[in-house]
Chain A
C-alpha cells in the first residue's frame, strides 16, 4: 500500500523520558512534515523537510529534534518529555512544498503521545 506510516500509534511515557516517533512515506514525495494536534483539534506545523533539508522550523522547544536520514523518512525525537507535550503528532508528505499541486498533503494516522 502507498501511504505515510507512523510508529508507534500510541505512546505512554513518564515525564523526563526521551522518546522517538518514526515516519516513512513510499509515495515518492519530496517534502515531509510534522504537525502537532492539541486536545481541541488545532493543528500546528512544527517542522518540514524537503529532500532531507530542513525548510520549516517553527517556534518549537529545542527538546524536539527532527531527523531525516533520506527523503522517505522523517523521525521526531523528543527529549525530557513534559506534560504539555501530550498531543497527537501527525506526519505528512507532499509532492511539492506547499501541497498545492497534485493531491495536497498525505497524512499518517497519527501518534497519540501521553506524558504522565
Chain B
C-alpha cells in the first residue's frame, strides 16, 4: 500500500538557520507529492506540490524536489523565520482514477526560536 514517512520532530532551529525535513514514500506508479503546513489552531494549507519525477515545487522560500530514484521529497528552506513555526505534513496521491484520498505522513513540528 501507499505510505509516507517523515522525520520525527520537533525540529528546533534558530532564526535564519537552514531547514531540511525529510520525507520518503512508498507507492505504486508515479504519485503526486505534496507538502502541507498547519499553523497552530488552523487547518492544513497546501505549501507546494510536484506531480512528476525531477519536478521542483516551491513557495514562500520553501522547496522540495521529487526524487524517484530515492523515493524522496525533502522539504528545504534556506533561512527560516519565527513565523515558519508550524507542523509540516508530507503527502502523496496515487495517479489514475478510483477511490482514493491523499495519504499523509505523521507530521513534523518545526519550532523556530528568535
B78 at the interface (CB under 8 A from A): no
The verdict on A98 contacting B107 (CB below 8 Å), with A104-B34, A104-B46, A109-B42 known, is no
> B87, B89, B97, B100: which has the most chain A beta carbons within 10 Å?
B100
Give which listed residue, A97, A103, A109, contacts B43 with CB less than 8 A: A109
Q: Are A41 and B102 in contact (CB under 8 A)?
A: no
CB-CB nearest in chain B for A107: B43
The size of the chain A interface, using a CB distance under 8 A, is 24
Which B residues lie within 8 Å of A43 (CB)?
A: 44, 89, 104, 107
22 A-B contacts (beta carbon < 8 Å): A33-B101, A40-B106, A41-B106, A43-B107, A56-B99, A56-B101, A97-B97, A98-B32, A98-B95, A99-B34, A99-B93, A100-B32, A100-B51, A100-B93, A100-B95, A104-B34, A104-B102, A106-B46, A107-B36, A107-B45, A109-B41, A109-B43
B interface list, Cβ under 8 A from A: 32, 34, 36, 38, 41-46, 49, 51, 87, 89, 93-95, 97-104, 106-107, 109
Interface residue ranges, A against B (CB under 8 Å): 4, 33, 40-43, 45, 48, 55-56, 90, 92, 97-100, 103-110
